[in-house]
Amino acid sequence: MKKTFLVLLTLMCVCCCASFADDGSNLWLHKATGDKAAVTLHAKSTPTTDIAIKELTDGWNGGAVNLAITKQKGMKRDAFSISRKRGFVTITSPSDIGLLYGAYRLLQMQTLGTVSEDFELTDSPFHDIRLLNHWDNLDGNSERGYAGKSIFWHVQGFPETLGQNDVADMRNNPLRNTTYARANASLGINGAVLNNVNASPKMLTTEVLQMTQQYADVLRPYGIKVYLAVNFSSPVIVGGLKTADPYDKEVQRWWKQKAKEIYNLIPDFGGFLVKANSEGQPGPGDYGRTHAEGANLLASAIRPYGGIVMWRAFINNPTDPDRAKQARIEFEHLDGQFLDNVIIQVKNGPIDFQPREPFNALFDALKLTAEMPEFQITQEYLGQSNHLAYLGTMWEEFFHEVMPYANYKANQLRARYNAIAGVANTGTDADWTGHPLAQSNWYAFGRMAWNPDLDAETIANEWVSLTFPKLDAKQHQTLVAMLMRSREAVVDYEMPIGLHHQFGDSHYAPGAWDNRPIRRDWLPVFYNQADAEGIGFDRTKATGTDATSQYHPDFGNVMENLSTCPDKYLLWFHHVPWTHRCQSGRTVWEELCYHYQNGVNEARQLQRQWNSLEGAIDPDIFRDVQIRLMTQTRDAEWWKDGCLLYFQSLHGMPFPDFLDPPVHTLEECKHSRLNVGLYRSPTHEELNKVR
């Protein structure tokens, strides 16, 4: 039947026929050498070792390789060692998946040119559970996805027509394209939540569970477990019960029965991700129960099978005037009440994936409950797939802050389950991520999930070398430099010096002026608090919402004190007059102008740098990125003009001379729609047309 998974089929064809063509579909994966390496397995053969052998046979050209399972005390199951002596390479691990990770690492080192004659290395992941969250819906759409359609679901006419035909299709057309699995395994990503946190109750129907089984079977040899996001009301909607109250025996029985059904199909099913009582989703609060009571309901159902529940701490119904404080307020008092297979999944920042936020104070609060950071790889708030924004620098900044102040490592190591998640930026576009360079964010997430101590530049260097191995040293450095400055450029032209949530509806275009009669804490004006006298959201203890006290004093006091608060967080923590002197020496008004202009300048510089790579990059990818970078500069001008004209309309101060004068009126910025039409990568023909 053609009506489902057609997209997957198409994808398969493209990828099978031309899996090593330079259309970006091969991601950072090595290319086959044409030779066949001699690989010997000193262990029982498994589907996973088969893959390791095949990858090495096709890709390695540095002599014979031995693979061996070795149990070593204290060594994590998926850790590995690689050694090379007298031309012989040996990879060892306690597990077959560790051998596969070692194989990918060796192949990466080959491309990176870091294989020396004799060497020995051991690597072990910091996080045990390293997850992609796919916000994909059964109907094929991907929420906050900017790279085409869902790579997993494409049930035509869903939900009305879901039935056995779809399941049959699924069985006939499993996810044969292994690039997704290889890419994840090459980074050590070992789990995927296959659907949106705004979860359809249909996910727990037998039909969809049978589809899920297909993915589990395909992904299992690559060490990737499947997880599902579930709707808390599933017992009512799918099960036909009258309630989903955690204290109802029928409800408890329903979840236990459902767990049994799932694990019967997928013995290594990873578990559930739940968004409850947030943005309209049902949850235990509907029955007067706590998050802990809700989470434990599901956790106890799957605990016998080794499953986990990831319970999101993203709460969008604040009781406190400052939404930034809500996660900690809502979860701190529940510490210790969760079962040990529950993990609280916490967004890196306290608001919502903004281009820059300080870390979420909840990381500083829970001592008895496992926590996992949730990063957003998809660029919901950073220009989506139109803008270049390498997020390695953002996540490095997060770890840099969260490690010492929130005692991140100790807390993670204390927990039974130690995990991290990233909201994926994958879609059906040929290059997987819409913006070809956004592949770097998938890569960087995987690398940092494995080792949060890695710095962003090291990762950028790796990714550039693996993805564009033919660049010369200067070209390589140009591209790395582009990546390294790109996120700060977005911060500069969208929301510098601590501004946040200045978006219009789409989370793409500027909306600093937005003051519609809706919930105040959804509005940019609520977050900028700009008026004739000043700007910024006062979160100080002294005069504001006292968000600073949620942090460890070593961090909170620095933020509380205007003289020590760094400019980059100024307007996050302080409301100041327009004439306030920043640490830069400029007034706040000048500083805003300086950053908005710098963002535009940086966007132009990205264009220049990319243009200098013409001829060294595949022409289609070159043109695709060239056009996206053009759009980025144009959008940067729009952000600059819109935000600065709005602020100027409040205080009337002149623009400093260094500013490019506006090329839009405020009214235009308010009413015009930006070009967000590049979510699907342009075809070769389209690229030639717009060239």
Residue positions counted in the chain: 691
Which of the following is catalytic: 374, 380, 431, 602? 380
Q: Pick from 50, 58, 217, 668: which binds a copy of itself (CB under 8 A)?
A: 668
Q: In the numeric block, which tokens belong to residue 435?
A: 């913006």
Question: Which CB sits closer to a copy of itself, 74 or 661?
Answer: 661
Question: Which CB sits closer to a copy of itself, 464 or 666?
Answer: 666
Per CB under 8 A, which region of 13-21, 406-414, 563-571, 652-660 contacts a copy of itself? 652-660
Question: Which CB sits closer to a copy of itself, 82 or 606?
Answer: 606
CA angle 62, 66, 69 (to 5 degrees): 145
Rounded to whole angstroms, how far apart are CA atoms 565 and 555?
A: 10
Name 356's Cβ contacts closer than 8 Å, sequence gap at least 6: 394, 397, 491, 495, 498, 500, 568, 569
Distances (CA, A) of 362 to 126, 333, 393, 454: 21, 11, 22, 23
Q: Pick from 35, 268, 533, 660: which binds a copy of itself (CB under 8 A)?
A: 660
Nearest CA-CA partner of 613 in 468, 500, 496 = 468
Q: How many residues bind a copy of itself (CB under 8 A)?
A: 28
Our answer to whether residue 401 is catalytic in this structure is no
Question: Which CB sits closer to a copy of itself, 552 or 634?
Answer: 634
Using rule CB under 8 A, residue 663 touches a copy of itself: yes
Name 333's Cβ contacts closer than 8 Å, sequence gap at least 6: none
Our answer to whether residue 667 is catalytic in this structure is no
Q: How far is the CB of 662 from a copy of itself (least distance, A)?
A: 6
Which of the following is catalytic: 352, 374, 514, 624? 352
Name 686's Cβ contacts closer than 8 Å, sequence gap at least 6: none
Q: How many CA atoms lie within 13 A of 558 on its CB side?
A: 11
State phi, psi for 16 to the nearest 5 degrees: -75, -45
Helices 619-651 and 473-494: crossing angle in degrees, nearest 10, is 30
Using rule CB under 8 A, residue 655 touches a copy of itself: yes
Rounded to whole angstroms, how far apart are CA atoms 134 and 138?
A: 11
Q: In the numeric block, which tokens belong to residue 581?
A: 């002197």
Using rule CB under 8 A, residue 678 touches a copy of itself: no
Which of the following is catalytic: 261, 268, 279, 660? 279
Question: Which CB sits closer to a copy of itself, 223 or 662?
Answer: 662
Question: Which CB sits closer to a copy of itself, 279 or 614?
Answer: 614
Using rule CB under 8 A, residue 667 touches a copy of itself: yes
Bridge partners (DSSP) of residue 587 are 581
Q: Pick from 38, 112, 542, 690: which binds a copy of itself (CB under 8 A)?
A: 690
End-to-end CA separation in angstroms for the chain: 39
- Contact positions with a copy of itself (CB under 8 A) in 577-636: 604, 607-608, 611-612, 614, 627, 629-630, 633-634
Q: Pick from 161, 649, 672, 683: which binds a copy of itself (CB under 8 A)?
A: 649
Q: Pick from 310, 666, 679, 682: which binds a copy of itself (CB under 8 A)?
A: 666
Q: In the numeric block, which tokens belong to residue 313?
A: 């701490």
Our answer to whether residue 352 is catalytic in this structure is yes
* CB contact at 8 A, 172 and 32: no
Using rule CB under 8 A, residue 661 touches a copy of itself: yes
Q: How far is the CB of 677 from a copy of itself (least distance, A)?
A: 12
Q: Which residues are catalytic?
A: 279, 352, 380
| Site of interaction with a copy of itself (CB under 8 A) | 604, 607-608, 611-612, 614, 627, 629-630, 633-634, 637, 649, 654-655, 657, 660-668, 689-691
